[in-house]
Structure 1
């Protein structure tokens, strides 16, 4: 029996995590305290999305819900407050995230100025439209429909604690430091499973909610970035390459599984909740 040990949202794509004790499992990702996972995103003036890949110190931008506002803090910056209620007067901006083009709400010049100073580069903050949908590829879902907001590909990312423990055993054996879970930026962390059991799990079920792993998560250089300081360090992918490269993804190093909500959408997940695990063989 697996247990849900952590629930994590990232209100602003590639910025700091927001751990929660419970969240709604929607078809497009986690929702809690009036915000959704990856509901906001930073983009260039032409709408190209920005992440820690280009700006590692995005990790130090910390969003939190404070009453009816999203309170955002960053080192050496005054706090920024933005209303949680959607602002119908916002201008629409066409933005690009990987191969997808999406119409988003521009959050205005004040937010753009704040984030531009924080990143020391011109950028704008956009918000996913409440009535919009960004379907995910059905290539890996067996035809099951799903969607995401500004997540890279799928609405949820799940990793087992035992998987991280095995990674860290190999890191330490190679004379490297152990990594905290936040380097891999999951939404769901489970305990009570074997190392990388999520790779071959068909579903994690809690009551009516069914979380279905659909695609291994190919890792980029972000696991090298200290999420507390935004400072890059040694890239762990060289250690992972020896046994986590997946031929099915052209040799990409994979940790964690992208997941969809295959049943019970809108239900509540809670830290400490038990999952029934159904393996795919």
Structure 2
């Protein structure tokens, strides 16, 4: 097995980047999800409810961020505002505001008043203690430092989606791309689809990881990233084949056991 691709997302729920190598830090890939958008009430906003966030491309340059989108000229942002608490899935996390210019730029993109916030200290947010150790930390990802998916599982899921469509008298859709699932690392060469469900520990290159849990999937996976509209797949088909405990599952969450670097093509070993 090998590491097929690496992805990170500077601003939560915005477009991602495919890179050849990345630094693995205790709380995730370097630069991954250190920014997020909040609504007028100061609550976290994601593409689940505002799909146009996915049209935003965020580029990191040291301590600065450049936002690019279809609605306005690119904007360079440097966090320098006041700090405020944001609820991150039950944990209150202090984040730094990124100023009025960033707020206006993003508000025009999504069509409502929003603010951009930055996590200056990634050691501030713990992982869910039910699935991690007391010292484990995560940036602004949904819950865990990294998400791993496999090409074998996506291939089988796409076959299932075609079967579902044909059984319903619908036209067979094109295959879903992996970026719908917003992984950090994609693994190729897995012999059996969804074999990753049973992994407990894995080493990518020289970096060891613990598997914290499988990843339950939400409506974000149904958003077409060219039209920013929601469809039925893959949730419809995952509900048929991969539903358990009232949730649907695709991919696994990882927690690094040590920092290091991963590079596209690295060998992957299940420990």
The corresponding residue for 2:3 is: 4
Aligned residues: 263
Match of 1:119 among 83, 99, 110: 110
Match of 1:216 among 214, 230, 251: 214
Structure 1: gaps (5+ residues): none
> Are the structure 2 counterparts of residues 71 and 136 from structure 1 closer, same or farther at C-alpha, using a change threshold of 3 Å?
same
8 Å Cα contact 1:46/1:95 also seen in 2: no
The corresponding residue for 2:91 is: 100
1:45-194, aligned counterparts within 5 Å?
45-65=40-60, 69-83=64-78, 87=79, 89-130=80-121, 132-141=123-132, 143=133, 145-175=135-165, 176-177=172-173, 178-193=175-190, 194=192
Distance 1:96 1:67 in 2: 26
**Root-mean-square deviation (CA), in Å?**
1.7
> Are the structure 2 counterparts of residues 96 and 20 from structure 1 closer, same or farther at C-alpha, using a change threshold of 3 Å?
same
- Secondary structure of the residue aligned to 1:103 is strand
Tell me the TM-score normalized by structure 2. 0.92
Tell me the TM-score normalized by structure 1. 0.88
Distance 1:145 1:196 in 2: 29
Distance 1:207 1:124 in 2: 38
> Are the structure 2 counterparts of residues 222 and 206 from structure 1 closer, same or farther at C-alpha, using a change threshold of 3 Å?
closer
The corresponding residue for 2:168 is: none
> Are the structure 2 counterparts of residues 174 and 207 from structure 1 closer, same or farther at C-alpha, using a change threshold of 3 Å?
closer
Deviations 1:109-157 (A, max 9, x none): 111111111111001000002364200012123x463111111110110
8 Å Cα contact 1:93/1:104 also seen in 2: yes
> Are the structure 2 counterparts of residues 131 and 159 from structure 1 closer, same or farther at C-alpha, using a change threshold of 3 Å?
closer
Q: Displacement, 1:238?
A: 1.6
> Are the structure 2 counterparts of residues 135 and 244 from structure 1 closer, same or farther at C-alpha, using a change threshold of 3 Å?
same
Structure 2: gaps (5+ residues): 166-171
1:29-44, aligned counterparts within 5 Å?
29-31=28-30, 36-44=31-39
8 Å Cα contact 1:159/1:256 also seen in 2: yes
